[in-house]
Every structure is written in structure tokens, then in C-alpha cells.
Amino acid sequence: MEEQKYVHYSIMKEEVCSYLAPDKPGQLLVDCTMGEGGHSLEFLTRFPDLQVLGIDADPQIQERAKERLSSFADRVQFVNTYFDQYFRDHQGEPGPDRILMDLGISMFHYEKSGRGFTFSKDEPLDMRLNPDNPLSAYILVNDYEENDLANLLFEYGEERYSRRIARAIVRERTLAPIETAFQLAGIISGSVPSAYRHGRIHPATRSFQAIRIVVNDELGRLRSVLRDAVKALNPGGLIGVITFHSLEDRIVKHFFKDLHRDCICPPQQPRCSCGGARVVDVLTRKPVVPGQAEIRENPASRSSKFRVARRISEFWREADA
């Protein structure tokens, strides 16, 4: 089948399409992380009046999306940039009615990109979503100071053996540069206790996650884009975010919670100065998670969480800007 050539599994398609379904003809959905176009394909197929603008930082994967969605002609547009940059560049323009952010790294990057995202392949240590990014995993692993390495592995990977791993990386790179994902995974495996090495997940999983997050500034971009995306969203519009680890989910949860509050002034302040207007209604008090059938079909979905908010106010509190 034609669809089998696309390797990424789109998470919670039914739930995403249900929550973000358009309520008027001609509305615009911005797919902030289009990847191979799986979610966009679902929206374009189910809602014939919907327009889609797809953003992706990776020109290689975007070409696959263009091919996949070519039959929808002028109903879909493509922009090759980071999603936070897109919203910075388009402030003040007519906004979208629906925004989707699927923050998971596409299976394409693990299986087809050849950039060292996975420790199961002997590929160059790169991990950049956009090849123009000056920072690569190779530079990070071979140039960062030991203490900085340990700190980022702990902060972004929640890796308890971060100091042991950082020490081993620095020791090995003094002998020769660490050039491949296989090399790095082997160094990490050799530096941790045996019980950890043979645990539930590969011992390099958290370290690879942390390095990828830092190389692509994933959490910094997420904080920036949430603010600018909600500001761009038309009143009554919806924003949905799929996260895959606790660091991302915590950012989204607290951001939506803050904008749901009627006032964000300090409790000891006698008079409100923030404007006092609730900006969004949170539609998912608890995150939506995949069902057991989806987890069986796609085990990688088990950690995903989907949160949705609706912009209810034209007013934007300056304290949140």
C-alpha cells in the first residue's frame, strides 16, 4: 500500500481530530510539526472545507509530506522553519482557528534520516532536525565541559547516572573523537551499573533524549511558541499539544493553567494590574492518553499526553506577553 512507505505512526488520530474538529467552513489549521503529514492527512480527508498550513524545520521530511498530501492541492501550504520562528515572523497577521503541536520526534528521524537519533544504528552523531543548526550532537558530546554534560543529562534526560556518564564521555574523547551513535551508546552502557544496563529500557535512552533536546532547543522553543501561538489564535480557536515526556507536559500544563486563571497578580497585591481576564478555557482537565489498543499497535505512544485549550478572550494580558 502507498501509505506503508511513510514510517511515522500519528498518535491519537481519533482524539486529535475530535477535539480540534472545525466548527465553521474555511477554517485554518496550523500543523506546527507536520512531519510526514499523518495528522494533516486525517484532517484534510475528514473535513473537506478545512485549510492546513504545515510547518517543519526539516526540509527532508517536508518533501515527504508534500508528496503525501499533493492530492489536496491548494488546501495545504508548507513552511520550512521552526514553529516558534513562524509565529514570531507572522505576529499581527490573521490568525489560525486550530493549532496542533505533536512534539514527538518522527519515526522517520529514527529510521530514515541517518542522523544518529537512535542508539540502535551506526550513524554519524548529528541529531539536528534542521541541518542549518550550528549545534550538533557531535559538537555537544565532544566539546562540552564535563560538568555541563552532566548537568544537561540530568536536567533534560532525568538521568540519575549523569555524572558517571559524563566522566566516561570525557575520558573516551581524549583518546579519539566520539563520531557515531553506536560509539556513544557503548560508552554510556559501559559506564553504568550492570543492573541499570540490563533494565527495562536501554541505558542510553535518557542521555540520547537529553542531547537531542539541547541540540534542537526543544524546551526553549516550546515555551516561546506556546505564548506566541495562543496570541495568534483567533478567539474561539483551539490549540492542542501532544507531549511525550514529563518535561514537555509540565510546561504545557502550567502554561494552560496560568492562562485559565482570572488574575495572576500576587495575592498580597491590593488591586489587579494584570487585566484580570481569563485568556483560555482548558478543555482537558486531565490529559487525554492513548487507549490500550493503540498502545499495543504502537508501544511508543504509551508516554504521550494530549492537552487542549480554547482561546476565549480577545484581550491578552500584558503580564503573559
Helix (H, G, I), strand (E, B) or coil at 307: strand
The DSSP bridge pattern shows strands 305-311 and 98-102 to be unpaired
Q: What are phi and psi of 137, to 5 degrees?
A: -65, -35
Contact present, 10 and 3 (Cβ < 8 Å): no
Residue 208 among known ligand-binding residues? no
Listed in sequence order, the DSSP H helices in 38-180 are 38-46, 59-68, 83-89, 107-111, 137-143, 146-157, 162-173
Angstrom distances, CA of residue 302 to CA of 134, 178, 238, 306: 33, 32, 24, 12
Q: Is 202 known as a binding-site position?
A: no
Find cell 504521550 and name the residue. Answer: 304
Q: Is 117 annotated as a binding residue?
A: no
Nearest-angstrom CA–CA distance, 202 and 176: 24
Q: How far apart are CA 186 and CA 190, in angstroms?
A: 6
23 has binding-site annotation: no
For residue 83, say whether it is annotated as part of any ligand binding site: yes
102 is in an annotated binding site: yes
d(CA 254, CA 246): 12
Q: Is 306 annotated as a binding residue?
A: no
Of the candidates 228, 215, 303, the one whose C-alpha atom is nearest the C-alpha of residue 30 is 228
**Best CA proximity match to 70, nearest among 47, 52, 97, 55:** 52
Binding residues for S-adenosyl-L-methionine: 37-39, 56, 83, 102, 109
Binding residues: 37-39, 56, 83, 102, 109
